[in-house]
Chain A
Amino acid sequence: MNFWNDPVAFIADWLSGIFAGWGMPEFWSNLLVFAIGIFVLIAAIMVVDIFLVWIERKVVARFQDRLGPNRLGPYGLIQPFADIIKLLIKEDITPRTADKVVYNLAPILSMSSVLILWAIIPLAPLAWGVDLNVGVLYLVAAGAIGALSIIMAGWASDNKYALLGAFRQVATMISYEIPMVAALLIPVMLAGTMSMQGIVEAQTFGEPGVWFILVAPLAALIFAISSIAELGRSPFDLNEAESELVSGYHIEYSGMKFGMFYAGELLHAFTFGGFWGILFFGGYSVFGLETLPGLQWLSSPFIAVFMILVKALVGYWIIMWVKYTVPRIRIDHMLAFNWKILVPLSFTLIMLVAVLNKLLLGYGTLVYVAGMFLANVLLAIVTIMILGAYARRQRLAEEAALQIPARAAGD
């Protein structure tokens, strides 16, 4: 065992050696090594989070043809630290009529619900973290706590707008959780395990050994849409619709408590970018290159951590791209889109993948991957055709009702 192949176990052994030297019982020294590892991991995530604020502001500026923060330090890199100092010395204003306990608990829950998701993210084959055998269920459960914190904030603020934002968040969460869980079933089905490590390994060393985006592109798309809805980001950001609800659930929060909501939201998006990478884009694997002879050194934990961060950043970029491009949609449209399109589509997809997975597995990798990919694409095309036919009928019915003659071709 050396530092390059397994740095975490190397440092953990070194630390437990030191603690054993102090005469500490093994149980407590193990626990202390755990605690130090977790603290280092969370501190690293918080540093990433600080830079996410800078990335978000810089990218939105570019989307809107502005420069973004560029005064403090090179490219405005010190701007987020200035923001933190400002948040720290702001006055904390609590509304008189607020429910104090729930009001103060909500921002803490908002941040920690995102941080606990990092307990199951496999950063590298052997790096620190935990390989739960119910990892996917843990992801769904911990993801829902973030929505719970929004509901708590909206309820406890004692403000009509905050409460309306919370109602909308409840509706979004309970609706979009169903296609999300259904889309998560497909990687679980293909990998045959719910552990995140197992899903990543199945995409590199498994039976077909390809990224699940190739086998189930439609599941990846459904998961992407429903996770954006679950995050409450645009086009599904009805819980904080600025133009109608002032700023939604965090209207009464100021200073560091607001900062917790803001940073938690950005980190949540980044984390879900990471989960896209893990579930559909091979996690920490370097495009499967490390299975080739002569390239074994690519499976080093350092390269793996770099790969997973790059994949999470790409996912985060896509979430930002959608956020700053697509306008906000109405709540009835949002719910109809979920219950009438995504839910039937995701269940049809589960049935299709379950049967095809059994039928095609005997015919070699190429036939299997091509068959699955084409089946997904075909299902997507059929869905779009049904939607197009429905929309055309709707439009014709509306035009007939308004007594407007049908437009001439080429008009």
Chain B
Amino acid sequence: MPNPWVFIGLFIIIAAIIPIGAIVVALILGPKKPNPIKQSTYECGLETVGDSLVQFKAQYYVFALAFLIFDVEAVFLFPWAIAMNKMPLYVALEGVIFIVILVAGLVYTWRKGALEWV
């Protein structure tokens, strides 16, 4: 196998073609009788009031910020985890210190009340 990413690229292309094929076949076989009522927004039989794109809760934004920090941190932890088997004990302890600093950030977020759903 020359390059695994060639395989992944081919895999993604074929994995996209098969669902597209199924949907296109369904479009060809299915009936096409559109009318305004059928194409209106479905809300259990009620008329839609106002704009459909409602505002989202600001709370989601705070969780997204916290997520960003921990996801970037995961990128730093994976190389450390791979090298663990070949490294002495103090490397493990250095990783522990890194995680403790992160958890301190989590504790700060918690104490500030950013993790409460209001």
A90 to B19, Cβ gap below 8 A? no
A38 to B4, Cβ gap below 8 A? no
Answer yes or no: A161 CB below 8 A from chain B CBs.
Answer: yes
Q: Which residues of B contact A88 (CB under 8 A)?
A: 25-26, 29-30
Number of A-B contacts (CB under 8 A): 207
Distance in Å from the Cβ of B56 to the closest Cβ of chain A? 5
Question: Which of the candidate stretches A57-65, A164-172, A221-229, A285-293 sits at the interface with the other chain?
Answer: A164-172
B19 to A108, Cβ gap below 8 A? yes
How many residues of chain A get a CB closer than 8 Å to chain B's CBs?
Answer: 80
- A167 closest partner in B (C-beta): B56
Within 8 A of B (CB), among A177-203: 177-178, 181-182, 185-186, 188-189, 192-194
A384 to B88 Cα, complex, angstroms: 33
Answer yes or no: B108 CB below 8 A from chain A CBs.
Answer: no
Q: Which residues of B contact A93 (CB under 8 A)?
A: 34, 38-39
Answer yes or no: A319 CB below 8 A from chain B CBs.
Answer: no
A107 to B117 Cα, complex, angstroms: 31
Q: Which of A38, A90, A107, A136 has the most CB of B within 10 A?
A: A38
Q: Which residues of A contact B52 (CB under 8 A)?
A: 97, 158-160, 163
0 or 1 for each of B1-15: is its CB under 8 Å from A? (1 = yes): 110101110111011
- B20 closest partner in A (C-beta): A108
Question: Which of the candidate stretches A210-218, A301-309, A354-362, A386-394 sits at the interface with the other chain?
Answer: A354-362
A112 to B26, Cβ gap below 8 A? no
With A38-B14, A97-B41, A160-B48 in contact, do A119 and B7 touch (Cβ < 8 Å)?
yes
Answer yes or no: A174 CB below 8 A from chain B CBs.
Answer: yes
Distance in Å from the Cβ of A2 to the closest Cβ of chain B? 20
B11, B27, B38, B42: the one contacting A119 at CB < 8 Å is B11
Answer yes or no: A255 CB below 8 A from chain B CBs.
Answer: yes
A181, A186, A358: the one contacting B71 at CB < 8 Å is A181
B19 to A91, Cβ gap below 8 A? no
Q: Which residues of A contact B110 (CB under 8 A)?
A: 339-340
Distance in Å from the Cβ of B61 to the closest Cβ of chain A? 10
- A-side interface mostly: helix
Distance in Å from the Cβ of B20 to the closest Cβ of chain A? 6
B99 to A347, Cβ gap below 8 A? yes
Distance in Å from the Cβ of B37 to the closest Cβ of chain A? 10
B32, B48, B60: the one contacting A171 at CB < 8 Å is B60
B33 to A112, Cβ gap below 8 A? no
A131 to B7 Cα, complex, angstroms: 10
Distance in Å from the Cβ of A189 to the closest Cβ of chain B? 4
Within 8 A of B (CB), among A101-116: 104, 107-108, 111-112, 115-116
Distance in Å from the Cβ of A222 to the closest Cβ of chain B? 14
- B50 closest partner in A (C-beta): A160
Q: Which residues of B contact A354 (CB under 8 A)?
A: 84, 92, 95-96
Distance in Å from the Cβ of B30 to the closest Cβ of chain A? 5
Question: Which of the candidate stretches A27-35, A67-75, A231-239, A403-411 sits at the interface with the other chain?
Answer: A27-35
Q: Which residues of B contact A1 (CB under 8 A)?
A: none
A115 to B15, Cβ gap below 8 A? yes
0 or 1 for each of A146-162: is its CB under 8 Å from B? (1 = yes): 00000000000011110
Within 8 A of B (CB), among A321-349: 331-332, 335-336, 339-340, 343-344, 347
B39 to A94, Cβ gap below 8 A? yes
- A138 closest partner in B (C-beta): B8
0 or 1 for each of A83-99: is its CB under 8 Å from B? (1 = yes): 00001111111111100
B4 to A158, Cβ gap below 8 A? no
List 8 tightest A-B contacts by C-beta distance, closest first: A256-B26, A332-B117, A115-B15, A192-B85, A174-B67, A111-B19, A189-B81, A112-B15
Known: A108-B19, A354-B96. 20 other contacts (CB 8 A): A30-B2, A35-B14, A88-B25, A88-B26, A96-B40, A97-B52, A108-B16, A112-B18, A116-B15, A130-B8, A175-B67, A177-B67, A178-B74, A188-B81, A189-B82, A257-B26, A335-B63, A355-B89, A355-B96, A357-B92
**Could you list 16 A-B pairs, sorted by A, with CB under 8 Å?**
A34-B6, A91-B32, A93-B38, A95-B42, A108-B19, A115-B18, A131-B4, A158-B41, A175-B67, A177-B67, A181-B71, A185-B77, A252-B42, A339-B115, A343-B106, A344-B103
